[in-house]
Amino acid sequence: MAATTALSSQNEGPLYCKDLKAEVEMQHGPAPRVKVHSVEWKKVMAGEPVEINPSVGNGFRVMTVEEWAARWKCNEDFPECLACGSKNTKEHYFSQTWCRGKKHWESECLCLDCFEFSHRAYMDPDYMTPEQYTRKQWTEGLRKASYL
């Protein structure tokens, strides 16, 4: 799993969830919102065998939710379940992207008490992917060139 804490050079704490310029989008539900682990989640809940983590073995095995999520860690920045408020959560997905000082991140945690997934996402209002930024630069350049 990806680390959820990006530290600054002065060890000020995590940067991805500081200095937010918009609201953090928060949702919860009985199934993962992101596609990572969604197939396995359905199998675990149905009592079907799932693939064993290659770092511990090989093959398939029927697992409990706790056993399946044992290698995941809690997101220390957002430990609370959005459904029941428990702090017995494990993060199964984290992604962050920084582009020209603007940030976009997503985190999804599984609550081991109520088996609900808590999804949080944030994007700076003026965040653009490199492709969007390049497209904007080209469009503005063509507009200026057509006026010359």
Q: pLDDT tens-digit profile of 73-122?
A: 999 999 999 999 999 999 999 999 988 889 999 999 999 999 999 999 99
Q: Is the model's pLDDT at 54 over the cut of 50?
A: yes
pLDDT at position 140, please? 86
141 vs 62 pLDDT, higher one: 62
* pLDDT of amino acid 55: 82
- Over residues 15-43, the mean pLDDT reads 90
DSSP character string of 77-103? TS-S-TTT--S-EEEEEEEEEEETTEE
| CA angle in degrees (0–180, nearest 5) for 55-107-30 | 90
Distance of CA 39 to CAs 51, 68, 139, Å?
A: 11, 13, 41
Q: Tell me the pTM.
A: 0.77
| pLDDT value at residue 4 | 40
CA of residue 34 relative to chain centroid, distance:
8
- Asked whether residue 10 carries a pLDDT value surpassing 60, the answer given is no
Backbone angles phi, psi at 90, to 5 degrees: -130, 130
**16/73: higher pLDDT:** 73
Q: Pick the closest to residue 60 from 44, 37, 42 (CA basis).
A: 44
Region 125-131 average pLDDT: 91
